[in-house]
Structure 1
Amino acid sequence: MTFYHFARSVVKGLLSPLYRIEVKGLENFPESGGVLLCTNHISNLDPPVVGITCPRPVSFMAKEELFRVPVLKSILPNVKAFPVKRGMSDRGALRTGLALLKEGEVLGLFPEGTRSKTGEIGKGLAGAGFFALRSDAKIIPCAIIGPYKLFGKLRVVYGKPIDFTELKKEKISVEAATEIIMNEIKKLTETH
């Protein structure tokens, strides 16, 4: 058992009694190949909740500051997270993300870049569109529908893959690609 799977089972054991997590749409998740998993962001608990509900291990981009926190800096790399500098184009993080997708891994992103204080879907940053257009990964939208209320129901909905084949031919911008992804996430929150 890898550290990732060990950590996943520990986190699942901790969160399951606190929240009634309902998962929908797992049949939409590709069993193999690169996957760009794009999720809304409403709580600090979002990464572990996605980690325990996703059928495959997820590598999350996490803000660089977290890798300076004493306990987290040794745990995060072991649960497949890697740092990204916020507020600028971090070429190293972009290269790492593309390499993971090319290797057939799952790259998890919160395109909004920060948590939504209201729970509403915000504007996504260009990174999601960059990965969608520059890789052959399947793009899976995911919605976490809260609120995170102790012993309350929490839903995680995995949507159908977004097909970017034609849009790549049209050479759309990364901003337009991100907007398409965000709209799909928003639709999931409205229909579930």
Structure 2
Amino acid sequence: MTTSSRLNNHNTKEIIMFRKIVVFFVRIFLSLWFKVEVENVDRFEKLKTSCIVAPNHQSNWDSVLVPAFSKRVMYMMAKAELFENKLFGAVLRGLKAFPVKRGKGDVTAVKTAVSLLQQGQSICMFPEGTRNKGDKPMKFKSGASRIATTAKVPILPVAIISNFKFRGKVKIIYGEPIYFDDCYDKEMKKEDFREQIEKVEEAVKRLIEKNR
């Protein structure tokens, strides 16, 4: 059984209830630790298709903040190291996260992401590939655009703005979905994927500049 099949087979009443419980307590904890503001999340929740949610990445907190503050379920691609902590790993699994091995061309994780998207599920992944504590996002990697084009889904740019200090403000702002319909049946080259992800990167940067 593939990873995506196992993840989808976890949509039993018990697992769904477990996720609701995890989300409930995670949201309480995060709301006590930070002052969380979420804007335009309906752009994701009301989207009539699966998609890739693509935020900038500043902190490990991002992996729980984004899925916890959305009523619509999204699967999360999270670095494998985060699952080594049993408690944090359990929380991530409760939020439907699956591990990805960074820097090793994790084919299994990519196949899982494409399969989930084709089955109508949405996923969240960080195109920067690692955390960036600077004021501006690092150069986005083209993996997200490759997955989106293969699965024929849009990418939703998201900005996360915070210093992640105790009781500090965390802003999560959803942008408009970016579609690549004209590329779905086209033979894509490396520079085509680069051009796609640059559109997403620029959209995230604009959201950050506008809402900082």
Q: Structure 1 length as normaliser, TM-score?
A: 0.90
Q: Which amino acid aligns with 1:99?
A: S
Find out whether 1:54 has 2:70 as its counterpart: yes
d(CA) in 1 for partners of 2:159, 2:187: 28
- Residue 82 of structure 1 and its aligned partner are, at CA, apart by 1.0
d(CA) in 1 for partners of 2:88, 2:210: 36
Find out whether 1:63 has 2:96 as its counterpart: no
Find out whether 1:180 has 2:199 as its counterpart: yes
- The secondary structure found in structure 1 opposite 2:173 is strand
Q: Judge conservation of contact 1:84–1:93 (CA < 8 Å) in 2.
A: yes
Q: Which residue of 2 aligns with 1:102?
A: 118
- The secondary structure found in structure 2 opposite 1:29 is helix
Residue deviations 1:81-108 (CA, integer Å, cap 9, x gap):
1111111221111110001111111200
- Residue 68 of structure 1 and its aligned partner are, at CA, apart by 3.3
Give the percent of matched residue pairs that are identical in Structure 1 and Structure 2: 34
Larger RCO (CA under 8 A, 6+ residues apart): 1
Find out whether 1:11 has 2:21 as its counterpart: no
d(CA) in 1 for partners of 2:49, 2:100: 23
d(CA) in 2 for partners of 1:108, 1:37: 4
d(CA) in 2 for partners of 1:67, 1:27: 29
Q: Which runs of 5+ in 2 are unaligned?
A: 1-15
d(CA) in 2 for partners of 1:145, 1:78: 25
Q: Which amino acid aligns with 2:37?
A: E
Q: Which amino acid aligns with 1:3?
A: F
Q: Structure 2 length as normaliser, TM-score?
A: 0.82
Q: Judge conservation of contact 2:22–2:91 (CA < 8 Å) in 1.
A: no
- Residue 44 of structure 1 and its aligned partner are, at CA, apart by 1.2
Q: Which runs of 5+ in 1 are unaligned?
A: none
- Residue 30 of structure 1 and its aligned partner are, at CA, apart by 4.6
d(CA) in 1 for partners of 2:51, 2:208: 21
